[in-house]
Amino acid sequence: IATFVVEGATPKNIRKWAEWLREPLDEQLLQTVLKIFEPVKNIGHSEGLPENN
């Protein structure tokens, strides 16, 4: 299950998300997305000057 839910947690949507869990994961797509996000992996939110974060 996704680690976050944004304003869409209706009973209908929760059932839909549960159905999606049964679908096979596209491993190639997952690896492509992970590679795209690698440069920002584990970087948290920051604001303003670096010395203030």
Q: What is the pLDDT of residues 5-23, one digit of tens each?
A: 666 778 898 888 889 889 9
Q: Where are the domains of the chain?
A: 9-38
* Apex 11 CA angle, 6 and 15, nearest 5: 95
Q: What is the pLDDT of residues 19-29, one digit of tens each?
A: 988 999 999 99
Provide the 10 A C-beta neighbour count for residue 53: 9
pLDDT at 30: 95
